[in-house]
């Protein structure tokens, strides 16, 4: 059929051109605005994401000189960075006000007038174990306690944000630090000691040579070895009645033999689950004893390996006490933990694996402090430099150049991960605030396989949440990306045939009259972002849009959308 | 919806064998003056039914109070409290130190936990399952990556219909306090196996176990129904297994008994406003704790209530 002549001859009215021009202008402006908005979103995303990869930053520092520092083996800061506790190798505990360097008191640990012969590393919440020459041990916590109160008249001259030691010591002998936190509020911070009575070890003879412990609210594991005889592994269960009343304790102790190398290790550790005992020698030897079920299977040597060919200079356990961190003469730092391996050939089918290895601040690391909040370690070296590292991601958070060439003898990370303290042999104490940034995030931790605690090898794992800061956050995005791809592929399997057949049907078989209505409708639907069309069922069923269903919120599956 | 909720709660109450008694010392709640406004709560799913009960009771006394309750998981409670989007943060676990730090950074003091009820976190199996008891080390092997994939035979089930069958695992989503508590206490902080099917809520876990003969899951005891069986739990191999009942929760012998908390932003300088103070009083009163029992949980004792009154600077005259 030839085209109708009237159509060819028709003149387009001017107003149609005008409308066209207006439409074109609107479309151009709209399209440009969309492009600018998308660009803006990109810039915003980059500005949010990039700082994730930054290192930490040092803030204000204070430097003091501490008398008689040479003997100090461990340090602890309080939550508000007002005071520091220093513990000497002979059980001499001293506290100082950081801003002024004023002493806040002193306490000597002793059993029958004898000073401790063994001290465990200071772990989370100030937990520590002490061993004495008479063969007794004592387990407890040394930490700071703070309370808020109304200032009295003599304290009103402290400026807000400032602090000073209180006028005199409290009943327990410690002088609290008084910090003005507001017009009508001061915070009082003082050391608090909670210890069990010294208890005699049932096995061995002579002084306690080494002690290692893990304690939390539910259980306590202590390993100790004396001058002579077998070592002791003891387990204390704390059963807290929720109805009120004092906790009930059940103690059991098991002797075991430490084999080889004069039977007396230089460090002794027990893991947070009580399943492994690690004995370390300065020579670099590490023995692992399996203690998973001491009631039925005696604690026995499971494996012995050489951690380093160099002499070990420091060792401690990371938060959660599953990983040992050791440093050697050559300046390198390693993190080791036990992981299941059916082919290991050990009685408990577990094997010690090295999860991480990195270099310290430079020379041999002489002090390692662990964080109470995450997997950071503060490393101080023989030439006085220090560095802060996150063990899981191996990200370097801070580097602190040596303020003095004197070796670092004690370090501490503040409980809230917002300050560090470094004590040198010559008595120089440096305390510095810092912001950690996002220590667990590196490109590698997000996209590459990571070797996490308790795994035999590096893997892609995403499991970020737990009820305890001691659980290692695993942040691999790779499983999430692949999960999304998988869901997309499966959805396409259904959607593609459906869409193709629907398109063929509507273009070839649908009655023209109906098609004129259906086709534009489909095109408009296609122009809508799928997240809008996909959320329509949510809008119709979500409790906040269906008021009647309150106060019971049932479709919880939307909680993370 | 409310009827359905009522029916479910009724079921839970009937199914529970030994109903706990409310401490007779706890006082009857008496309404006060000047309570109005919006009551906003964001947090735990385990506590959701309880919060609904308490607010229902509360609005009976104070009809002008408008409750808004969201229960998407304990992890949602701290951010809402910090941002001031809620007055109450129900949580089925304790706040982590890092969450407390964030709160303290904003307000200068720590949030105050109120112990509102006790839950025996229960490990459920289908009612037809022959298994009756389980130990925490076994749970760690079953649910966490510390163990290999387990069959029912591996945990001592002799029944040939079960022995060779794998255990189908059901758990909560990662925003849940129950998920976090179970991971911390039962799994010793080991990761969940990827085969644990994450359910959006406590009742979904129970429902899944009720319809899956080979299923096992964990949820608050308040979500118990007649179609599932809570296992007796022992702390370690060779020790006695205890049922999830009030006596063993009070004594602490049931190893995964826990407090259910409501966290609030209490500033000692200004005290609590009447809306929050009266709600806490109601929760810790005879009526409030009767609701706890009705919901299948275990009421707190008067000693605990006195302690928590003290931490809020309120006088306990009972």
Domain of residue B98, CATH code? 3.40.190.10
Residues B198, B285 within the same domain: no
Q: Is residue A391 assigned to a domain?
A: no
The answer to whether residue A215 sits within a structural domain is: yes
Q: At residue B15, does pLDDT exceed 80? A: no
Residues 253-312 of B with CB under 8 A from A: 253, 257-259, 268-269, 301, 303-304
Res A239 pLDDT > 80: yes
Predicted confidence (pLDDT) at residue B13 exceeds the cutoff of 70? no
Instruction: Locate the chain A residue with the closest alpha carbon to B47.
Output: A552
Are B213 and B228 contacting, i.e. CB atoms less than 8 angstroms apart?
Answer: no
* Structural domain boundaries, residue B18: 2-119+259-311
Residue B10 and residue B46 in one domain = yes
At B45, the pLDDT band (50, 70, 90 cuts) reads very high
Residue B223: predicted pLDDT:
94
Q: What's the whole-number mean pLDDT along residues A220-236?
A: 93
Tell me whether residue A12 is in a domain.
no
Residues B209 and B272 in one domain: no
**Closest by CA position to A178, among listed A150, A198, A138, A200:** A150
Identify whether A268 is part of a domain. Answer: yes
Q: What is the pLDDT of residues A144-171, one digit of tens each?
A: 999 999 999 989 999 999 999 998 899 9
- For B81-84, the CB contacts below 8 A with 24+ separation are B81/B42, B81/B111, B81/B263, B81/B264, B81/B265, B82/B106, B84/B265
Domain that holds residue A316: 110-135+201-359
For residue B51, the chain A residues in CB contact (below 8 A) are: 551
Q: How confident is the model at residue A525 (pLDDT cuts 50, 70, 90)?
A: confident
Strands B197-199 and B168-172: parallel
- Chain A closest-CA separation from residue B204 CA (Å): 10
Give the pLDDT of residue A540: 61
Answer whether residue A544 shows pLDDT above 60: no
- Is the pLDDT at B19 greater than 70? The verdict is no
Contact yes or no for B72 and A559 at CB 8 A: yes
Contact B72 A553 (CB under 8 A): yes
Interface test with chain A among B176, B188, B219, B298, by most A beta carbons within 10 Å: B188
Domain stops at, among B243, B270, B293: B243
What is the sign of the dihedral through the CA atoms of B250, B256, B261 and B263?
A: positive
Does B118 lie at the interface with A, CB-CB under 8 angstroms?
Answer: yes
Instruction: Mark which of B217, B243, B269 sits at the end of a domain.
Output: B243
Residue B1 has pLDDT above 70, yes or no: no
Cα of A408 to nearest chain B Cα, Å: 29
Considering only A101-110, A244-253, B116-125, which range has the smallest mean pLDDT?
A244-253
d(CA A487, CA A457): 28
Interface check for B63 against chain A (CB to CB < 8 A): the answer is no
If one compares A197 and A6, the residue with the highest pLDDT of the two is: A197
Provide the edge-to-edge strand list for the sheet that holds A408-413: A57-65, A428-435, A419-424, A408-413
B248, part of any domain? no
Q: What is the pLDDT of residue A560?
A: 35
Q: How far lies A166's CA from each of A94, A186, A210, in Å?
A: 16, 11, 38
Q: What is the mean pLDDT of chain B?
A: 91
Is some CB atom of chain A closer than 8 A to the CB atom of B192?
yes
User: Above 90 in pLDDT, residue A217?
Assistant: no
Looking at the predicted structure, is the pLDDT value of residue B220 above 70?
A: yes
φ, ψ at A557 (rounded to 5°)? -65, -15
Q: Band the pLDDT of A37: cuts 50, 70, 90.
A: very high
Question: Is it the case that residue A549 has pLDDT exceeding 60?
Answer: no
- Rounded to the nearest angstrom, the minimum Cα separation between A184 and chain B is 8
Q: Are residues B160 and B98 part of one domain?
A: no
Domains held by chain B: number: 2
Q: Tell me if chain A has a CB within 8 Å of the CB of B250.
A: yes
Reduced to 3 states, what is the DSSP secondary structure of residue B288? helix
Q: Are residues B128 and B230 in the same domain?
A: yes
Closest Cα in chain A, distance from residue B30 (Å): 24
Q: Is the pLDDT of residue A377 over 90?
A: yes
- Tell if the pTM clears 0.95, that is, is over it: no
The predicted pLDDT at position A347 comes to 87
Domain shared by B214 and B130, yes or no: yes
> Mean of the pLDDT values across residues B225-238?
94
Is the Cβ pair B301, A243 closer than 8 Å? Answer: yes
Whether residue B252 is contained in a domain is answered as no
Interface mutation target, options B191, B207, B233, B292, chain A, most CBs of A under 10 Å: B191
Domain boundary among B243, B274, B303: B243
Q: Domain total for chain A? A: 1
B132 and B78 in a single domain? The answer is: no
Q: How many CA atoms lie within 13 A of B201 on its CB side?
A: 23
State the pairing for strand pair B215-219/B168-172.
parallel
Cα A494 to the chain's mean position, in Å?
Answer: 43
pLDDT at residue A559 in the model: 35
CA dist B292 and B289 (Å) reads 5
């Amino acid at each position: 059929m030839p085209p109708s002549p009237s159509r060819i001859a028709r003149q387009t009215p001017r107003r149609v051109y005008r409308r066209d021009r207006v439409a074109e202008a609107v479309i151009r402006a709209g399209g440009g605005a969309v492009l600018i908005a998308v660009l803006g979103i990109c810039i915003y995303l980059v500005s949010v994401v990039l700082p994730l990869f930054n290192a930490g930053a040092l803030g204000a520092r204070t430097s003091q000189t501490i008398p008689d520092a040479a003997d100090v083996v461990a340090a602890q800061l309080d939550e508000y960075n007002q005071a520091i506790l220093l513990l000497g190798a002979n059980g001499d505990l001293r506290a100082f006000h950081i801003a002024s360097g004023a002493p806040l008191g002193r306490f000597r640990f002793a059993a029958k007038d004898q000073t401790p012969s063994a001290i465990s590393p200071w772990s989370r919440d100030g937990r520590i174990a002490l061993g004495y020459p008479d063969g007794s041990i004592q387990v407890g916590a040394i930490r700071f306690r703070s309370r808020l109160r109304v200032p009295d008249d003599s304290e009103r001259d402290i400026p807000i944000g400032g602090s000073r030691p209180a006028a005199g010591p409290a009943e327990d002998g410690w002088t609290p630090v008084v910090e003005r936190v507001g017009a009508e509020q001061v915070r009082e911070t003082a050391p608090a000691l909670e210890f069990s009575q010294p208890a005699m070890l049932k096995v061995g003879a002579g002084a306690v040579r080494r002690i290692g412990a893990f304690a939390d609210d539910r259980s306590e594991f202590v390993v100790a070895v004396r001058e002579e005889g077998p070592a002791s592994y003891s387990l204390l269960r704390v059963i807290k009645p929720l109805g009120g009343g004092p906790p009930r304790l059940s103690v059991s102790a098991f002797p075991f033999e430490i084999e080889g190398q004069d039977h007396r290790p230089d460090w002794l550790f027990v893991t947070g689950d009580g399943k492994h005992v690690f004995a370390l020698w300065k020579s670099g030897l590490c023995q692992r004893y399996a203690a998973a079920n001491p009631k039925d299977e005696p604690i026995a040597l499971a494996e012995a390996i050489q951690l380093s060919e160099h002499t070990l200079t420091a060792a401690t356990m990371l938060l959660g006490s599953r990983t040992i961190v050791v440093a050697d003469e050559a300046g390198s730092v390693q993190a080791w933990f036990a992981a299941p391996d059916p082919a290991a050939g050990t009685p408990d089918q577990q094997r010690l694996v090295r999860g991480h290895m990195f270099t310290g601040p430079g020379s041999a690391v002489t002090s390692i402090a662990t964080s109470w909040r995450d997997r950071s370690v503060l490393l101080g070296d023989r030439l006085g430099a220090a560095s802060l590292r996150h063990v899981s991601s191996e990200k370097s958070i801070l580097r602190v150049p040596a303020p003095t060439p004197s070796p670092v003898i004690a370090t501490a990370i503040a409980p809230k991960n917002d300050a560090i303290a470094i004590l040198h042999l010559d008595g120089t104490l440096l305390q510095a605030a810092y912001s950690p940034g996002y220590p667990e995030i590196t490109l590698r931790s997000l996209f590459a396989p990571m070797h996490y605690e308790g795994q035999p090898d590096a893997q892609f794992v995403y499991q970020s949440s737990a009820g305890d800061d001691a659980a290692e956050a695993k942040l691999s995005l790779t499983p999430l990306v692949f999960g999304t791809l998988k869901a997309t592929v499966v959805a396409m399997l259904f959607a593609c045939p459906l869409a193709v057949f629907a398109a063929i049907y509507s273009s070839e078989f649908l009655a023209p009259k109906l098609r004129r209505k259906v086709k534009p409708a489909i095109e408009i639907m296609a122009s809508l972002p799928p997240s809008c069309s996909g959320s329509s069922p949510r809008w119709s069923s979500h409790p906040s849009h269906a008021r009647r269903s309150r106060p019971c919120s049932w479709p919880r599956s939307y909680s993370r959308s | 919806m409310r009827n359905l909720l009522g029916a479910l709660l009724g079921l839970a109450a009937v199914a529970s064998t030994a109903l706990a008694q409310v401490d007779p010392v706890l006082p009857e709640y008496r309404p006060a003056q000047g309570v109005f406004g919006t009551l906003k709560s964001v947090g735990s799913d385990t506590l959701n039914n309880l919060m609904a009960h308490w607010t229902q009771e509360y609005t009976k006394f104070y009809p002008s109070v408008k409750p808004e309750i969201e229960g998407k998981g304990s992890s949602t409670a701290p951010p809402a409290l910090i941002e001031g989007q809620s007055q109450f943060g129900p949580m089925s676990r304790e706040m982590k130190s890092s969450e407390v730090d964030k709160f303290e950074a904003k307000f200068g003091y720590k949030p105050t936990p109120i112990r509102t009820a006790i839950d025996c976190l229960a490990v459920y199996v289908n009612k037809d399952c022959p298994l009756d008891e389980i130990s925490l080390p076994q749970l760690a092997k079953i649910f966490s990556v510390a163990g290999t994939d387990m069959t029912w035979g591996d945990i001592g089930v002799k029944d040939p219909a079960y022995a060779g069958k794998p255990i189908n695992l059901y758990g909560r989503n990662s925003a849940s306090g129950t998920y976090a508590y179970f991971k911390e206490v039962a799994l010793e902080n080991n990761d969940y196996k990827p085969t644990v099917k994450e359910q959006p809520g406590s009742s979904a876990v129970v429902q899944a176990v009720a319809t899956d003969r080979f299923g096992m899951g964990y949820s608050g005891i308040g979500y118990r129904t007649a179609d599932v069986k809570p296992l007796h739990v022992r702390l370690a191999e060779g020790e006695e297994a205890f049922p999830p009942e009030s006596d063993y929760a009070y004594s602490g012998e049931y190893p995964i008994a826990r407090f259910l908390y409501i966290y609030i932003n209490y500033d000692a300088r200004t005290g609590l406003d009447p809306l929050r103070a009266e709600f806490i009083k109601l929760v810790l009163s005879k009526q409030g704790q009767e609701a706890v029992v009705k919901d299948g949980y275990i009421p707190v004792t008067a000693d605990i209530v006195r302690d928590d009154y003290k931490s809020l600077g309120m006088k306990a005259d009972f």
